[in-house]
């Protein structure tokens, strides 16, 4: 890889998100996380510049792409409030997260009241018992408590007082099922974190389905002349469908000798009649399901992101789209990864990646995970590790988000 890729002077713009879920694990919104050139040296980051670029990225990519028509939680410091920076974004879609440590003087109070009057919602980030923002608690729609920073012993006293009983309690840094269960028992109603990506039992569930994909797939296979390219595109656009096809073809029931690794190979082995039959059955069973949930959308983004990064790394022909899908299938089906890949024709490198998070492909997937989590220092590190320009990775992630969202928008 040429050194010029690493030293590329063009602006680097990353945009990612963390889901905020209700008690039934439906996504109600996203905390938006952004990275631009001014954030490379985190200790010297100026709040006004970072906030302006956050709003700039939101308007550039669009809240529909970033938040899937759900709420956007955007951090606001003093300068952003006084400059009315959120005025560029739709009030009914935005929650202004007032940062911890802000001094609530008359100007800040007036700015918060103006936001409320304009229809924006307000959240107090990193809320504590001795919080300096007590004078605007009555304006807050959400109180966000960092579970890791606060400590479980102090939670009951913090969430108990009646003077903020009208605000929704939001638990941040919910990284495990245990965190989720404890926070819910303490009275929290919303939860921010990736706990739902970690299966903790052998129980499986039916994953939500993109109805648009199945509808178009049924229409495609009912045409007199089969458009193979179109059918392949539709199958690859739904992670669960893609996984089920390969699983089905490698099962003893289908009776194929050898290993099936790609959709094109599956088409050759199945033949037209069998492919039509399988697609129709899949469509009829799944089309009544709801639109994709956060897990399926995340799997789509990850798979497409990996596929787009592929040409810039040494992957020896690995199916990176498939690996991206499989890397989240344990969370989608709520079964261990060993059960997910059982019976699938994966080589040693793929198994090492999925089971041990190690091997030749691990650095690229570490980069993908770092981007998803908004861990920018790790993004810088892994971009250098794989010899990839940060602006290329950022553009690929943005493209992957738009591709996944375009499928969801049509369902």
| Cβ(219)–Cβ(276) below 8 Å | no
pLDDT at 200 over 60: no
As beta bridge partners, residue 20 has 29, 192
CA distance 130 to 297: 39
Contacts 24+ apart (CB under 8 A), 75-79: 75/51, 75/99, 75/125, 76/51, 77/47, 77/48, 77/51, 77/102, 78/47, 78/102, 78/103, 78/108, 79/47, 79/48, 79/51
pLDDT at 40 over 50: no
pLDDT at 243 over 50: yes
Q: How far is CA 353 from CA 195, 317, 372, in A?
A: 21, 15, 18
- Higher pLDDT residue, 123 or 266? 123
SS3 label, residue 331: helix
CA distance 319 to 322: 5
Which span out of 40-49, 117-126, 265-274 was modeled with the highest average pLDDT?
117-126
> For the chain, give me the number of helices (H) and strands (E)?
20, 8
| Cβ(143)–Cβ(123) below 8 Å | yes
pTM for the full predicted model: 0.71
Q: What's the mean pLDDT when you consider all of the chain? A: 79
- Higher pLDDT residue, 70 or 341? 70
For the stretch 330-359, pLDDT in tens is 887 777 888 778 767 788 999 999 999 999
Summarize the confidence of residues 30-37 as an average pLDDT.
Answer: 75
CA terminus-to-terminus distance, the chain: 40
CA distance 359 to 326: 16
Backbone dihedral angles phi then psi of residue 59, each to the nearest 5 degrees: -75, -30
Q: Give the CATH architecture of domain 3-197.
A: Alpha-Beta Barrel (3.20)
Q: Where in the chain is the domain with CATH 3.20.20.450?
A: 3-197
Q: Give, in degrees to the nearest 5, the angle at Cα 165 between 161 and 167.
A: 125
């Amino acid at each position: 890889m040429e050194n010029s890729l690493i030293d590329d002077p063009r602006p680097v713009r990353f945009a990612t998100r963390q889901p905020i879920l209700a008690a039934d694990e439906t996504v109600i919104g996203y905390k938006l996380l952004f990275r631009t050139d001014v954030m490379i040296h985190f200790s010297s980051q100026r709040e006004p510049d970072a906030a302006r670029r956050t709003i700039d990225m939101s308007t550039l990519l669009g809240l529909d792409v970033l938040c899937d028509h759900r709420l956007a939680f955007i951090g606001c410091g003093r300068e952003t409030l006084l400059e009315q920076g959120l005025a560029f974004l739709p009030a009914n879609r935005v929650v202004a997260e007032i940062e911890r440590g802000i001094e609530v003087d008359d100007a800040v109070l007036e700015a918060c009241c103006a936001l409320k009057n304009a229809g924006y919602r307000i959240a107090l980030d990193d809320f504590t018992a001795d919080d300096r923002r007590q004078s605007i608690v009555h304006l807050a729609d959400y109180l966000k408590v960092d579970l890791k920073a606060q400590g479980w012993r102090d939670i009951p006293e913090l969430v108990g007082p009646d003077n903020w009983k009208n605000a929704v309690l939001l638990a941040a840094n919910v990284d495990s099922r245990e965190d989720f269960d404890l926070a819910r028992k303490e009275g929290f109603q919303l939860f921010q974190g990736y706990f739902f990506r970690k299966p903790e039992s052998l129980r499986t569930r039916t994953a939500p389905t993109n109805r648009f994909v199945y509808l178009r797939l049924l229409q495609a296979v009912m045409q007199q002349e089969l458009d193979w390219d179109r059918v392949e595109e539709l199958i690859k656009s739904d992670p669960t469908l893609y996984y089920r096809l390969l699983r089905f073809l490698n099962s003893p029931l289908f009776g194929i000798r050898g290993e099936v690794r790609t959709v094109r190979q599956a088409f050759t082995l199945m033949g037209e009649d069998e492919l039509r039959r399988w697609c129709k059955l899949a469509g009829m069973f799944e089309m009544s399901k709801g639109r994709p949930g956060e897990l399926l959308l995340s799997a789509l983004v990850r798979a497409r992101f990996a596929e787009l990064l592929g040409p810039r790394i040494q992957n020896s022909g690995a199916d990176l789209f498939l690996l991206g899908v499989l890397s989240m299938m344990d969370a989608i089906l709520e079964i261990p990864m060993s059960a997910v890949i059982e019976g699938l024709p994966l080589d040693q490198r793929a198994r090492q990646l999925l089971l041990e998070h190690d091997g030749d492909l691990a650095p690229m997937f570490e980069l993908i995970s770092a981007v998803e989590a908004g861990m920018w220092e790790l993004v810088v590190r892994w971009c250098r590790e794989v010899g990839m320009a940060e602006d290329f990775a950022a553009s690929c992630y943005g493209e992957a988000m738009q591709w996944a969202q375009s499928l969801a928008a049509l369902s």
